[in-house]
Amino acid sequence: MIVILKTKNKNRFIIKALSVLLVIIMFVFYYLHMSNKFQENTTLLSEEPIQNIGTKTYNKSMTLEKIIYKESVVIVNLLEQRHIQSIKVVKDKLFLICDFNTDIEPLIIRYGVGAMIKHTQKNIKIAIDLRTIVENKYEVQ
């Protein structure tokens, strides 16, 4: 703000002092207004996302759990339930232990090289990567 007046020194000094004081008061009020506005925005933003993030992660984990459970049911049905000794989820793998005389051909057709199979004298151990199961099923739903 530029004020140019050609008057006596006393009047010029008073006008300059008032204009500087007015500019300082305007900055103070602007700062107070913006800080209140920012504080209102942060309180609104901080309350809602915490609840939404919790429910979103819970819903996502529940859908992933349902997908894994449904796929394990399909696997048990493919291999016939009476031949399954145990089924476990460890880290990112689905482990199955079956009888030695189990027909694993449907499982090989379904998962191909994604199913790691180990034959022992007593049983057959199968490990299936959960990441591929979830990626294939999660896109569909």
**Number of domains within the chain:** 1
Residue of 41 and 118 predicted with greater confidence: 118
Convert the pLDDT of each residue in 64-101 to its tens digit: 889 899 999 999 999 888 989 999 999 899 999 999 99
In a domain, 35, yes or no: no
In a domain, 25, yes or no: no
92 is in which domain, residue-wise? 56-140
In a domain, 39, yes or no: no
φ, ψ (nearest 5 deg) of residue 134: -70, -40
The two tokens of residue 74 are: 């399909």
φ, ψ (nearest 5 deg) of residue 115: -100, 115
Q: Which of 117, 133, 123, 115 is nearest to 86 (CA)?
A: 123
In a domain, 28, yes or no: no
Convert the pLDDT of each residue in 22-69 to its tens digit: 999 999 999 999 998 888 887 766 665 566 667 777 888 888 889 899
